[in-house]
Each structure stands twice: as structure tokens, then as C-alpha cells.
Amino acid sequence: MSASPQQIITPEIYLEMERTAEIRHEYYHGTVYQMSGGSGTHAILIAHLAASLVTGLRGKPCSVTVSDMRLQVAPDGLYTYPDAMVFCGEAQYADVNKDTLLNPRVIIEVVSRSTEAYDRGKKFQLYRELESLEQYVLVSQMEPRIEVNTRQPEGKWLLEEYVGLDAKCRIDSLHCMIALAEIYEKVIFSPPVLRTDED
């Protein structure tokens, strides 16, 4: 989310503008934020995730969308573009344009160093408002790591981590597995940023 918001507008105006815009924007409580472009690694990971999910869900009543599908978290709250979503059964849309989903069962975000705090913090807080959401998945660009947050019956969320190329990630709400070796195939990790203290 860009740090330079535009003027306060209504959700209706945002959607009208967004449907003709060349650059995607998030909307949050009257403010529009330009979304930054993703890296090559980001694009590869989304493609691999989508391919793995489509294969794993073949024959099941679930569909996979990627980052062109907009999500409405609340009518006057957040509108955003998750990296991937899965809905099961009939899709529910905000209006007749059928370009703004309301009922994802699983949301997946590919995490970078610049988006990690937002994806783990405020965005996850807002996503938890979605009654349909059963699992929130974070996929690291920095190392082979997938974190799965699962809603529990009492409303709490359980975190499970899958680390390393030998690991296989369980998406229980979809009854499928994701092999990290497939997701991270051909991904070259950047070395970690080391901080040095100057005297």
C-alpha cells in the first residue's frame, strides 16, 4: 500500500474509477492507495501456487483466483487484491460486474520484506472480519517457508509453519497439499540484508 493517499471518496466512486484504471489501487475507509508492482520472484511464486492449487482442487467444487480479482472485506472498509484466493461452491460478488469477490475460503499473500508487517498485521486483522475465511496463508519470498493460519471453532487462529524444500504444506479447508519444492522451483533467494552499526 502506497504511503501517498488520494482524496476521500466513496466505495462506489472507487469501484467506478478502478474498473477503468491501468494501475490497481486498494481502498480503505474513503482513501485510495496505489499498489506497487511485484518482483519477478513474486510473480513466479503466484504462478506456481495457482498451478499447484488448480491441480490439487481438480474435481472439487472450489475455484482459484489470482491477483486480478478484487476482494471486498467490508462495504465501506477494505477493498484489495490478494495474491490468490480460493472460494468453494458459488462465488458471491459485490455487484453485477462480478469482479469483486465476497466469500473466499482461503486467502494467500506472497510476503516480501516491504509488505511483511502489513500482511501479518493490519491486513490479517481486516481479513479476519470475513465470515467465509477459514485459512490465511503467507508465502515467503525470502526463504522456503509457508505459514498457514487456520480459524478455530472458538474464533482463535492457529499458526502452522512449513519450512524447507522437503516440506509439504497442508491446506485442510481445501483437503489438499502443497509441496514447497514445487512452489519454490527456480526461485533464487536474495541474501539477507545485514545491518551494521556505525560507531
The residues spanned by each domain of the chain are 38-71+81-183
CATH node for 38-71+81-183: 3.90.1570.10
Burial of 195 (0-12, 13-18, 19+ CB in 10 A): exposed
Phi, psi angle pair for 139, to nearest 5°: -115, 120
Q: Do 49 and 140 meet the contact criterion of CB atoms below 8 Å apart?
A: no
pLDDT per residue over 89-142, tens digit each?
A: 999 999 999 999 999 999 999 998 888 999 999 999 999 999 999 999 999 999
pLDDT per residue over 48-105, tens digit each?
A: 999 999 999 999 999 999 999 999 999 888 999 999 999 999 999 999 999 999 999 9
